Amino acid sequence: MTIRTSILTGAALLALVAPAAQAEMLDVEKDELTFGFIKLTDMAPLAIAYEMGFFEDEGLFVTLEPQANWKVLLDRVIDGQLDGAHMLAGQPLAATIGYGTEAHIVTPFSMDLNGNGITVSNSVWEQMKPNIPADADGKPVHPISAAALKPVVDSYKDAGKPFNMGMVFPVSTHNYELRYWLAAGGLNPGYYSPDNTSGQIDADVLLSVTPPPQMPATMEAGTIEGYCVGEPWNQQAVFKGIGVPVITDYQIWKNNPEKVFGLTKDFSETYPNTTLALTKALIRAAMWLDENDNANREEAVEILSGAEYVGADAEVIGASMTGTFEFEKGDVRDIPDFNVFFRYNATYPFYSDAIWYLTQMRRWGQISEPQTDEWYHDVAKSVYLPGIYLEAAQMLVDEGLADAADFPWDSDGYKPATDEFIDGVAYDGRTPNAYLGQFAIGLQGAEG
């Protein structure tokens, strides 16, 4: 090669490299990946990263596979059949501390805020309504407390009948949100113990696991009187005329963390560039879902309605995902933040979010022994990986694909204390044991 051709070749290479600064390609260690998900609206970041080419932009060739249930999904991540998955926020934490299937699962990316609801059967709703204040238009005043459900549960008890409700998994957000709502209204949702993992010890309301897509049919069959689930399965009950959503998780805990993207610690350490690349793609998908005041949501709804993703009618998915939520048939209310994918630092994996889930595991006996505050902090930091998230975010900013102002660079991983819960109890992730001491229903101190 002559000096001249070498210079020309170098110039040509520079010409190729210059545009690449707009989209830096990591040298990924593994480029063919399979990710799992459950058929819920909040799997959207995965679908959008795939459909919009964000995975391919990072040199990743991804296959998305729906899973039968949360246990199968977790097991397949652990044994390597899946490289990562849409997970319940409690799953990586529970697996890491050895509650249920034991494995060290980590998350560099939180998938969304809010997105769940609690639905009851038409019969239960009619019994609840006399206990709920009405506004000037005769519509129920929201948020609806579980105190309105308590007389109904008491009537079942007096008749010698159990009051059954469904949730999706023992360490699911839904289990903890349903328990929180019931307890705030004076109903005991029951306890777990090492010898009894039913979660129904001393329960006024008996909670059991039902896979999300089966919730409406299970309630319609009379097996359960209501359930807590993600969308579109609350709105499905309204459209089918079989039940009424009474409250959303946004009303139980404003802007609560929901799903995460989970993978094994071994994967994140063996394939660090791949982990960065997939995190970049997911951040871009979350940005797309929320940008311009949710301008892309209609397109997202059409994508998610496909059989390969959620497989529900676009009208049902859109009923909540486009900024409204229908409670009683015809009672459509604006809840613009029912689904949040990027706003409010939704994608940043906060330690304080992890700690809240751990406090609920302790409150209901899944963690059977009291733990120090330091234990909570250490577990959170072993599972949630904001360092990887911020590294991915910085790359997107450097590439001109994200705005630096949208990321919490100076965060110590803990959100400010908040009392935006239905019962007004204040939560500060820095002091988990003090938080647990505030509840009238739930394990206290050394109880187990």
In a shared domain, residues 332 and 427: yes
Among residues 227, 252, 277, which one ends one of the domains? 252
Q: What is the pLDDT of residue 38?
A: 94
- Residues 70 and 86 both lie in one domain: yes
Q: Tell me, yes or no, whether 310 and 373 share the same domain.
A: yes
Check residue 357 and give its pLDDT.
98
Both 432 and 302 in a single domain? yes
Does residue 371 belong to any structural domain of this protein?
Answer: yes
d(CA 389, CA 410): 13
Asked if residue 353 belongs to a domain, the reply is yes
Q: Which SS3 state, helix, strand or coil, does residue 151 take?
A: helix
In terms of domains, do 289 and 374 share one? yes
User: Is 443 domain-assigned?
Assistant: no
Candidates 260, 280, 385; CA nearest to 55 is: 280
Q: Is residue 447 part of a domain?
A: no
> Looking at the domain assignment, is residue 408 inside a domain?
yes
Pairwise CA distance, residues 245 & 119, whole Å:
4
CA distances 211 to 69, 114, 174, 266, Å, are 6, 19, 12, 29
Rounded distance between C-alpha atoms, residue 405 and residue 26, angstroms: 24
The dihedral built from the CA positions of residue 394, 355, 39 and 98, taken in this order, carries a sign that is positive
Same-domain check for residues 52 and 144? no
Split into its structural domains, the chain has a count of 2
**Same domain (yes/no): 122, 236:** yes
User: Do 90 and 196 have their domain in common?
Assistant: no
Is the pLDDT at 20 greater than 60, yes or no?
A: no
| Residue 441 domain-assigned (yes or no) | no
Q: Are residues 418 and 296 in the same domain?
A: yes
Name the β-bridge partners of 208: 166
Let me know if residue 356 belongs to a domain.
yes
* 3-class DSSP state of 356: helix
The answer to whether 290 touches 337, Cβ cutoff 8 Å, is: no
393 and 308 share a domain? yes
Closest C-alpha to 119, from 29, 23, 247 = 247
Which pLDDT belongs to residue 22?
53
- pLDDT, one tens digit per residue, over 322-333 is 989 999 999 999
Q: Do 266 and 414 belong to one domain? A: yes
332-352 pLDDT tens trace = 999 999 999 999 999 999 999
Residue 134 lies in a domain: yes
What is the C-alpha to C-alpha distance for residues 217 and 106, in angstroms, rounded to an integer?
34
List the domain range (segments joined by +) for residue 198. 116-252
pLDDT band at 83 (very low <50, low <70, confident <90, very high): very high
Phi, psi of 169 (to 5 degrees): -175, 150
C-alpha neighbours within 13 Å on the C-beta side of residue 109: 30
Per-residue pLDDT at 21: 42
Q: What is the pLDDT of residue 25?
A: 85
Residue that terminates a domain, selected from 232, 252, 272:
252
Last residue of a domain, one of 228, 252, 276: 252
Residue 244 sits in the same domain as residue 295: no
Residue 23: band (very low, low, confident or very high) from pLDDT cuts 50, 70, 90: low
Rounded to whole angstroms, the Cα distance separating 110 from 262 reads 9
Write the DSSP string, 368-380.
Answer: -S---HHHHHHHH
Tokens 């009392």 belong to residue: 419
pLDDT, tens digit, for every residue of 374-433?
A: 999 999 999 999 999 999 999 999 999 999 999 999 999 999 999 999 999 999 999 999
Question: Residue 13 has what pLDDT?
Answer: 37
Radius of gyration of the chain (CA): 23
- 283-to-108, 111, 358, 370, 395 alpha-carbon distances in Å: 10, 9, 25, 36, 11
Over residues 119-127, the mean pLDDT reads 98
Question: For position 386, which CATH number holds?
Answer: 3.40.190.10
